A = this chain, B = another copy of it.
């Protein structure tokens, strides 16, 4: 039966990772400069080729690990990009993932060893090939995801204040939210756990730290939220 598979072309298969981070009340993207022609010097998503024995998701996790040193990262497939001429000279089909990482957790040396740099999402440099498209689509997915889950929290430290969470959502959706309404909506989901400690660095009064309600599975953090 395997001869039915013969005669069909084989393709180079890559993954590209849209790596989101969050710092200074801004969404950031981890990019690295392409070091060879064509389009040498232009900025690029982190990518790599899918090996024989790994799935695309595993390849993306590997790329993430190799470039940031991080494991067990939130990772979600965006789409396959497969236009025959999406890269010049060589045909590569690329499966795009986006991931959410805590910038403060990254392996600095490893990241800088790749010449990588965190760019503010709103002021990106020119990207190679169809990578801008990939980013746009990934952001759309992130916005969608954040609308019915607390996945965005993967960008924040383990504990965070509601101000920090609101600023994160403002960065994700590129718009402002009313502080009082945001607080009530988020708390009404009953997915957050109020700790007994306060953060005093951002206000005189001090804001309680929250964590994700312990014991919640990913599915359980999903509620319809209309942001």
Please determine whether A13 and B49 come into contact, CB atoms closer than 8 angstroms: no
Say whether A181 faces chain B, with CB atoms less than 8 Å apart: no
For chain A, what secondary structure do more than half of its interface residues adopt (helix, strand, loop), or is it mixed?
loop
Say whether A77 faces chain B, with CB atoms less than 8 Å apart: yes
Partner of A9, one of B8, B51, B226: B51
Please determine whether B1 and A38 come into contact, CB atoms closer than 8 angstroms: yes
**Across-interface contacts of A54 in B (CB, < 8 A):** 84
Cα A226 to Cα B226 with chains together (Å): 10
User: Size of chain A's interface in residues, with CB distance under 8 A?
Assistant: 35
Please determine whether B82 and A5 come into contact, CB atoms closer than 8 angstroms: no
Which residue of chain B is the closest to A36 with respect to CB atoms?
A: B1
- With contact pairs A54-B84, A57-B82 given, residues A49 and B8 touching in the complex (Cβ less than 8 Å): yes
Q: What are 11 inter-chain pairs, A to B, with CB distance below 8 A?
A: A1-B36, A1-B38, A2-B90, A4-B36, A10-B11, A10-B13, A11-B13, A13-B93, A54-B84, A57-B82, A82-B95
